[in-house]
Structure 1
């Protein structure tokens, strides 16, 4: 089973890019982030025409996450991250698909740092860690997939010295990531590619993609039972070179069984 994660940076504005990629790559399941669309504007029919059912947690103009599948029913288990009933940002969606429990997420960017946005990011990260612990304790085959807005190490960012004050590479953010992984999660892409940058994001300006001045911020974290099924992982850089495309590229993993 091939599962992908893709920050589409506006699902309706970049729908032709998404549909083209789905048709060419044919992932079995895909987690989407940054829909930038309310629930009633999600293009469910267009995805259905390609054989994908979907569930989504939208938000007008900002955020938004979705899970789409062409290999079976999607059984939604959670809509929103627990821990703050007043949080209205659409950043977490959880469902069981084909025997795998998937937590699809879009972690806050957090810039500028310091400030309220960074404080919100760290609170959200703490809530994610608490929920992630309960998922691991379940013993189920679970993954957390999506745009984490974290570069875990210097290998995950071109010219790391330029990013030391950024909310995606700040010491406390990387420490939060390390603490999350230390619960027992396996970083799928880094496990398969321990020494390669494997960037998933390139800014639109200064020919960042052409220069490969990228970041690895889209990740898969697998529970130990699921990690035993990991066969391959990578980044599909091709769509990042298309016109009117997202600034992210899809990342993917291949699971046996």
Structure 2
């Protein structure tokens, strides 16, 4: 069994004790982190290496940043999403681990919608779709995991009406997400839990969203057909969100058969 986790940690340094504690308990083989919020050189690599993880990190000062940690060798690292050489935001890292191509994704938020941030989000998603199309041609198993900043459907948000105009739930955003799925990718959580309610991965710090369970599901795993054939489980671990100094996201854990 291969266990892959994704988690937007909302600052690797600020959350380090939480992250290390969870890794010790959950012991995933591969960990995809988003919003590490530090430059590559200042990522606390040594702490993860001490736990047996090899690290591929793409950071930038104060914002964004992604990492891929694995107990096996991390090979053929791609440190950006192809398609826009001028895009310097640290949002994508991809590598081969144990024969599986795996990416850690921090998709743009896109808010406020009336600014350049929303077209950037949609263009980034189109680049991701084109890249996924290329990966499919290899016919190798791949996993695209991370914070997609997309609420796929009404059951994935506590109040759909309140989110109608938000970049995470606008029709254009969801259409781009469907375009990814329409390539033949499988959204792991809903494939196994089609009717589960209150299956959220993010709860805002404001307005008591966590204690009232008013969340959204925006952290996803998309699998190629070859990876989907090996899908055993995909679950949300809400435990870390209840801890002191928690990230506003919680981990999602994917299990694939060997």
TM-score norm. by structure 2 comes to 0.98
> Could you list the per-position Cα deviations for residues 71-93 of structure 1 after superposition, in whole angstroms to 9, with x for gaps in the alignment?
x1001331101111100000011
**1:19, CA displacement in angstroms?**
0.6
**1:205, CA displacement in angstroms?**
1.4
SS in 2 for 1:67: strand
Equivalent-residue separation in structure 1 for 2:206 and 2:27 (angstroms): 30
Equivalent-residue separation in structure 1 for 2:120 and 2:28 (angstroms): 33
- Contact kept, 8 Å, 2:56 with 2:77, in 1: the verdict is no
Give ranges in structure 1 of 5+ residues lacking alignment. Answer: none
Aligned partner of 2:111 in structure 1 is 111
- Contact kept, 8 Å, 2:68 with 2:103, in 1: the verdict is no
Equivalent-residue separation in structure 2 for 1:9 and 1:208 (angstroms): 17
SS in 1 for 2:247: coil
SS in 2 for 1:209: coil
- Contact kept, 8 Å, 2:79 with 2:92, in 1: the verdict is yes
Query: Where do 1:1-257 residues align within 5 Å?
Result: 1-70=2-71, 72-197=72-197, 198-257=199-258
Equivalent-residue separation in structure 1 for 2:98 and 2:226 (angstroms): 15
Equivalent-residue separation in structure 1 for 2:146 and 2:114 (angstroms): 24
Equivalent-residue separation in structure 1 for 2:40 and 2:207 (angstroms): 34
Equivalent-residue separation in structure 2 for 1:33 and 1:58 (angstroms): 10
**1:138, CA displacement in angstroms?**
1.1
Equivalent-residue separation in structure 1 for 2:51 and 2:206 (angstroms): 33
Stretch deviating more after TM superposition (197-206 or 81-90)? 197-206
> Could you list the per-position Cα deviations for residues 198-252 of structure 1 after superposition, in whole angstroms to 9, with x for gaps in the alignment?
2100001122111111111000000001101001110010000000010000001
Equivalent-residue separation in structure 2 for 1:7 and 1:249 (angstroms): 7
Equivalent-residue separation in structure 2 for 1:23 and 1:209 (angstroms): 24
> Could you list the per-position Cα deviations for residues 63-121 of structure 1 after superposition, in whole angstroms to 9, with x for gaps in the alignment?
00000012x10013311011111000000111001111002110000000121111111
Equivalent-residue separation in structure 2 for 1:61 and 1:196 (angstroms): 35
**1:32, CA displacement in angstroms?**
0.3
SS in 2 for 1:213: coil
Equivalent-residue separation in structure 1 for 2:254 and 2:40 (angstroms): 28
Equivalent-residue separation in structure 2 for 1:107 and 1:114 (angstroms): 18
Give ranges in structure 2 of 5+ residues lacking alignment. Answer: none
**1:31, CA displacement in angstroms?**
0.3
**1:61, CA displacement in angstroms?**
0.3
Equivalent-residue separation in structure 1 for 2:34 and 2:109 (angstroms): 13
SS in 2 for 1:206: helix
- RMSD of equivalent CA atoms: 0.8
**1:50, CA displacement in angstroms?**
1.4
